Structure 1
Amino acid sequence: MLKQDYKKRLVYIFLALGVLFGISVQGCGLVADGDKGIISGEVWRDMNGDTINAHGGGLIFHEGKYYWFGENRPASGFVTEKGINCYSSVDLCDWKYEGIALGVSGEEGHDIEKGCIMERPKVIYNEKTGKFVMWFHLELKGKGYEPARAAVAISDSPAGPYRFIRSGRVNPGIYPLNMGTEEQEIEWDFSEYKEWWTPEWYSAIEKGLFLKRDMEGGQMSRDMTLFVDDDGKGYHIYSSEDNLTLQIAELSDDYLGHTGRYIRIFPGGHNEAPAIFKKDGTYWMITSGCTGWEPNKARLLTATSILGEWKQLPNPCVGEKADKTFGGQSTYILPLQGKEDRFVFMADSWRPESLSDSRYIWLPIQFNEKGIPFIEWVDRWKPY
């Protein structure tokens, strides 16, 4: 018993020293050879010793630094009280808090009024304009998850501050590229499909029941990510049609709007939390099912053209707890700078009783002999 108490005291002393000297002693700790590495599922602290609060996030690399953007989640409740946080690091281990990149508005009725819901922020850099562009999923204050909007903001520097531009549904009045004329011309009687999950309902969803319902106001956009292809084209990937169908929409050249070119993939498949990367000309996407805050089995999607035909492969996670994505949900896939063909799978381990205490799972993506990505749990590992 005395030995256990002694060990506990040592832990507290090391934690206190970490806070005092700005050392991130949890999340990024010491690996076997004494170097710093990533420890998933623990409390991660910034260089001030404060818990990192950057959920549903994404990263961008610019001029030697990684910038991590994520939801500032409250200790209780789930609405947004502050905005989008930003942290920076040169090694993915020691994180400096850069502040609120995009703060909520104090103006009553503003799209991002305090009390709205800002989720899944992602930032991309536009080489042509020299601007940093942030997109995120937005729900208006007091409206629950009904608005299902995509919102965009812009900045001259990676850490911000970002200036909010607008929010709204996606591509109003426009049919997707992969929907034929016959399906476009169907006139739906929505009163016939009040009962969900029947074979008739699934068939109607696949043919565009909810897409047609939302045509005038635009397509719903909830869980989302961004991707910039090798040719500089930007893409917005999001859960739509009441989270039943993924859509991939091309962004305008300035990344501030949509061109009207988009596709639907896996209608009725119930995918959310998309995270995408590209390797050797092949696109790979990891998603999750829709089970609220509870983890579920990840899905692996692949295509040879981003606006082409996608197919689904088995769960990319292997090993113990693979059927629950190791307790997490995908949020982003990060290409490691200076490490060719190395990618990091990023996920959130949600704690709905206190969302600010949700943890981070970052794991290296590996590839089998056929070049198919897979993810297994690693207790401690070094990104560099």
Structure 2
Amino acid sequence: MKNYSYGYPKKISLILVITMTITAIASAQQSYNNFRPGELWLDNNGVHINAHGGGILYHNDTYYWFGEHKTEGKTGNVALVGVGCYSSKDLYNWINEGIVLSVATEGSDSDIESGCILERPKVIYNEKTGKFVMYFHLELKGKGYSAARTGIAVSDKIIGPYKFIKSFRPNAGIFPVNMTETQRNFTVTSEDIKGLSSSEKDSIIAEGLYVCRDFKTGQMSRDMALYVDDNQKAYHIYSSEENKTLHIAELTDDYLDYTGKYYRIDPAGWNEAPALFKKDGRYYMITSGCTGWRPNPARLLTADNIWGPWTRHPDNPAIGDDSETTFHSQSTYILPVQGRENTFIFMADRWKPQNAIDGRYVWLPIEFENGLPVLKWVDEWDLSVYDQE
């Protein structure tokens, strides 16, 4: 029998190992110089960014992206890990800063116990207290979407760890400022509207059916956004009244509670996913309709005062192919680009309920036509598009 040498196969094996290692390193160090909406977006470790339903805070020359940390499969739609954070200097390339708010262990009896639903986390900075404050939509474990609470956490450092403080329904025992005395004395109940047409129900909801129902326990709070105005006043905007009406509520000076001043926006308008921004003293809000995980046409509301009145415009701000699904996505945040006046990025998510971790991000430049924001699809783009305006 011949004595075959095994040197060559070992050499091939070594080459394969080296090639795979180089590929892995190259993937982990992939550098972006543009946005590619809907595609996989890898972080510094070569892993798809895991920050769904998120928002961004710019602090000390760095962008911080906070979002829901999803896991694989359908079970990934509940919170099994917590809220993640990524940092970036250029908005294209992101460093994984880890989990900044962890869910509590099973059996802990915490409101944010593993298995709860924790959605759309947003973080703002309080200049007076030096604290970073996180708000999120919270549903208690095992109760579906019936709790409809606001959750609040706080940290001394932007990348945490954040300490969970409390969860509750906002503004218990307080009526919205823009409800009339007649509406505050509403006596119709949910039982009374059974059998009515959708338009008849909406009319009664607009008059304050659910506000009065939830007066003592606090108003429902689901899809949400935070907004800090030029004077550092902060506001919580959230879907309420069974997702039929948006509320905008003023926060206390420390951002940890409500002042009790809040307004209803577009009563019975069926708005979710609010994202707010301000340009030249005017307020703009992009929302979606209520169709569950299925995308739908975006909506646009505007106001000259943050308290309103808010006008809902008839036209979809998204235009072109796939505009009827807002390019198969749903709004989550409007990002002002630092160093570029009146420059904004529309941030949206493509939800993947069958495999939550595979949700993709759709970032698009906001353009203005006839004084109103519009969204147009582009396969690839970078911040230089704003130099052409």
> Same-fold call, TM > 0.5?
yes
1:60-71 map, 5 Å: 60-71=57-68
| Aligned mates of 1:14, 1:245 — CA distance in 2 | 53
1:22 aligned partner, one-letter code? A
Gaps of 5+ in 2: 1-18, 385-389
- SS class of match (2:375): strand
Structure 1 residue 239 and structure 2 residue 236: aligned?
no
| Cα pair 1:58 1:123 within 8 Å, conserved | yes
1:1-384 map, 5 Å: 17=23, 19-20=25-26, 22-24=28-30, 28=32, 36-76=33-73, 77=75, 78-106=77-105, 108-195=108-195, 197-313=197-313, 314-368=315-369, 370-383=370-383
| Cα pair 2:189 2:209 within 8 Å, conserved | no
| Cα pair 1:317 1:325 within 8 Å, conserved | yes
Hey, what does 2:16 align to over in structure 1? none
1:86 aligned partner, one-letter code? C
| Aligned mates of 1:201, 1:320 — CA distance in 2 | 34
- SS class of match (2:247): strand
| Cα pair 1:24 1:93 within 8 Å, conserved | no
| Cα pair 2:28 2:47 within 8 Å, conserved | no
| Cα pair 2:189 2:213 within 8 Å, conserved | no
| Aligned mates of 2:132, 2:115 — CA distance in 1 | 25
1:323 offset after TM fit, Å?
A: 1.2
| Aligned mates of 1:315, 1:15 — CA distance in 2 | 47
1:228 aligned partner, one-letter code? V
Q: 1:115 to 1:179 in 2, by over 3 A?
A: same
Between structure 1 and structure 2, the one with the greater Rg is 2
- SS class of match (1:183): helix
TM-superposition CA deviations, 1:13-65 (whole Å, max 9, x none) = 8997364463336xx4xxxxxxx101010111110111111000000000011
Q: TM-score, normalised by structure 1?
A: 0.91
| Aligned mates of 2:197, 2:306 — CA distance in 1 | 29
1:199 offset after TM fit, Å?
A: 3.4
Gaps of 5+ in 1: 1-12, 29-35
Q: What's the Cα RMSD here? A: 1.6
Q: Percent identity over the alignment?
A: 54
| Cα pair 1:126 1:255 within 8 Å, conserved | yes
| Aligned mates of 2:225, 2:190 — CA distance in 1 | 30
Hey, what does 2:13 align to over in structure 1? none
Q: TM-score, normalised by structure 2?
A: 0.90
Count of matched residue pairs = 362
1:184 offset after TM fit, Å?
A: 0.7
| Aligned mates of 1:46, 1:336 — CA distance in 2 | 20
Q: 1:102 to 1:201 in 2, by over 3 A?
A: same
